[in-house]
Structure 1
Amino acid sequence: MKNILYVCSTLKRSGPTNQLFNIVKNLPSSDYRVIVCTLSYESKDSLKTEFISNNIEVMCLGLTRVAGLFLMKRRFERLVREFKPDIIHSQGVRSDKLVSGTDVDSLKIATLRNYPQLDYPMTYGKILGRYLSLIHSRSLRKMNLVVGVSNGVCDNLSEYFGITNTRTILNGVDTTKFYFKDSKMSLRSQLGLPKDKTIWISVGHLSSRKDPESVIRSFSEYNETKSDAMLIFVGDGPLAETCNKYSSSNVRVIGRVPNVYDYLNASDFFISASKAEGFPNTVLESLACGLPVVLSDIEPHKEFFDLGYNIGSLYRLGNGCSEEMTLVSNQDYSSMHSSSLELIDECLSAEVMSRKYQEIYKGGIR
């Protein structure tokens, strides 16, 4: 049996936390003993109870970001001495910095879910973003292995940072939570959505990185010839107010909701104009619900199509996608729906992803 210590900042409800849960939940308890170590106290919007209810041990160092500067390393080293992990697996800037700077015999693995030099400046501003990108890359160089959640993430590490101790494991989706439910019309009644329209859905943070305004512009062009269509946004963010200005009988901003699964199953197509992603959970979840997709042609989006399934269409980032929306809506829907479900089942489920991590854990790659 191997001891694995997972390290992350918190278990805040987010894509990275969901992916961590997917990895750990699917580890055979006969082969692994697991502790998830968080650095700071949880917010109200936390998945900690979900980890605990699945018999996953969670320990919190209980430090604020300021206190962590002085006490975190000492408390973490004490936990490492007591647990004696064979493997320490971290994710995120703070966690990767802590683990990479700890002098232990354990195999150190980090999972990277973004493009640091692109994502951090967009999220934190240019100065702080560049600093975080530098700090993170220095930490990753000290790891035994960095797992990128897409080939694009690994290629970026090599080309931009010169980091080559990498391996790709694509994110997976929990198919016990996201799956096709053949009740579209009843869901639309419950959610107050029209039954007589083709519904396009975009899920995620309403920010410049996701570029929801370009989705609205493309939909408006598409809607000129497809007047029986509707666009809904599920999510919140700094551009929510801007998007709300476009609200009409055909465009609706739902906001952040706990039942994203219901909105996906009430919809017909998924659309994303994102400028940067690791390997997006929202696309995984949409495909798991059987939705064909129209996606911007960033590298991680291309990788969905590289797997060889008929799941929709890509479009050139910055060009608008009304033509691709028309193209996809005129294709054989049943074929794309079936292909979407097959892609998830055969390549991109949480179980498939966890098994690939287990291959690394068993191999002890250094």
Structure 2
Amino acid sequence: MKVTIVVPSLRKTGVTEVIKQLLIRNHEEKNPIDFSLIVLRDDFKANSTIFRSLVSEIHILTGHNLITFDKISEFKKIILKISPQVIHFHGFNAELYIPFVKKNNIIVTAHNMGIGDFKYSYGYFIGLIMSIIQKQNYKYVNKIVGVSKAVTNYYKKLGFKNVKTIENGVEIPKRIIVNKKMLNLKKPVGIYVGNIDARKNTSMLLDVFSKEKDFGTLVVVGDNPKSVKKFNLIKNKYKRRNIIFVGRVSNVYPFLCGANYFISASKNEGLPMAAIEAMGVGLDLILSDIPQHRELKQNENNRIYFFKNDENGLRELLVKYVEKFPCSYGKLKNKESFLKRFTASVMFEKYLKLYYQFN
């Protein structure tokens, strides 16, 4: 069975990581799906090596501009040549191409909640226009896959009935060597992984840590992909002994394994891949109280703690956590839940079943 995945870019993000894990698992299962990949921008070509080894063919459209007449023409020709049974779109920028192949079987994986996410990156007005375009494009889609129940419910409330939930999954490496930067830090060591921007609410997180001396160390892994200048300003403002910036990394696990807990103050998510990866290595989670974070907690044994999303709420929870550390620190409870629910194998089996509905 032929499935073509369409993605905006090969930049390392939660979206591309989900796609990579899906392809790796398919390869390990001796390729029940014949995957091909279309990448709409030719930046981050260095990341293409792993993807080339996992698909029957990969097409990277030339040019940094997302959509042009030439790209639309080339995209349609590629789809005609491959003749896939399913075209699987990931991300809003990829979804812009849906109208040009709307007579095909189309699946989209919705990694966000429309205006709720768009407004943080693009402002309310542009975000609203994007959400209107997205809703229109989804009318041509056979199946919308929400990466969390919150995302699924959002699109159901918009009137779509062809929506189901498939949670993101990852495979944790078997052998991980802790990065040297994580050694000899004042404990407990917290780690934040992701973009440094308004949606992720990182300024509030950094404000709390910068004002406290007894919270151990916070390691920040990530950057601001839209503005190097803004990232450098934030890094210079908050860089001090208890906050360490390491930038964007190709492999986050050597950093996660050197931490005691993962922390996120995010205002909105699809399903937080970084938090799932942290669960996979057994870290405690300290999270803002939003529905997508709440979904990660299956039972009271999970070491997942929620705070009211303001400075006082975060400070109060961190005080309680630090006071009880290391007695409060547990390595297995979250990993057990991860293995039952968030592995790449679990995700792959659900997508496989969905693809076969179009066979």
- Please, what TM-score do these two structures have when normalized by structure 1? 0.86
- Distance in 2 between residues matched to 1:323 and 1:180, nearest whole Å: 36
Paired AA for residue 36 in structure 1: L
- Distance in 2 between residues matched to 1:216 and 1:298, nearest whole Å: 19
Structure 1 residues 290 and 72, CA gap change in structure 2 (3 angstroms) = same
Task: Quote the residue 2:59 is aligned against.
Answer: 59
Task: Quote the residue 1:112 is aligned against.
Answer: 110
Task: Quote the residue 2:98 is aligned against.
Answer: 99
Paired AA for residue 353 in structure 1: M
Structure 1 residues 359 and 199, CA gap change in structure 2 (3 angstroms) = same
Task: Quote the residue 1:3 is aligned against.
Answer: 2
Q: Structure 1: which 4+ aligned runs deviate by more than 6 Å?
A: none
Q: Secondary structure at the match of 1:49?
A: helix
Task: Quote the residue 1:191 is aligned against.
Answer: 181
Task: Quote the residue 2:222 is aligned against.
Answer: 235
Structural mapping, 1:27-176, within 5 Å: 27=26, 28-44=29-45, 46-62=46-62, 65=65, 68-104=67-103, 106-159=104-157, 161-176=158-173
Q: Is 1:207 aligned to residue 201 of structure 2?
A: no
- Distance in 2 between residues matched to 1:192 and 1:315, nearest whole Å: 26
Structure 1 residues 30 and 268, CA gap change in structure 2 (3 angstroms) = closer
Q: How far off is 1:191 after superposition?
A: 1.5
- Tell me the number of residue pairs that the alignment of Structure 1 and Structure 2 aligns: 350
Q: Is 1:300 aligned to residue 300 of structure 2?
A: no
Structure 1 residues 75 and 333, CA gap change in structure 2 (3 angstroms) = farther
Paired AA for residue 170 in structure 1: E
- Distance in 2 between residues matched to 1:342 and 1:290, nearest whole Å: 8
Paired AA for residue 164 in structure 1: K
- Distance in 2 between residues matched to 1:53 and 1:33, nearest whole Å: 12
Contact 1:271/1:294 (CA < 8 Å) preserved in 2? Answer: yes
Any gaps of 5 or more consecutive residues in structure 2? 225-229
Task: Quote the residue 1:278 is aligned against.
Answer: 270
1:320 pairs with 294, 313, 317, which one? Answer: 313
- Distance in 1 between residues matched to 2:184 and 2:10, nearest whole Å: 36
Task: Quote the residue 2:227 is aligned against.
Answer: none
Paired AA for residue 151 in structure 2: V
Contact 1:270/1:292 (CA < 8 Å) preserved in 2? Answer: yes
Any gaps of 5 or more consecutive residues in structure 1? none
User: Cα RMSD over matched residues?
Assistant: 2.6
- Distance in 2 between residues matched to 1:92 and 1:228, nearest whole Å: 37
Q: Secondary structure at the match of 1:114?
A: coil
- Distance in 2 between residues matched to 1:39 and 1:273, nearest whole Å: 31
Larger deviation, residues 294-303 vs 334-343: 334-343
Q: How far off is 1:139 after superposition?
A: 0.7
Identity %: 27
Larger deviation, residues 131-140 vs 322-331: 322-331
- Please, what TM-score do these two structures have when normalized by structure 2? 0.88
Q: How far off is 1:334 after superposition?
A: 7.8
Structure 1 residues 245 and 147, CA gap change in structure 2 (3 angstroms) = same
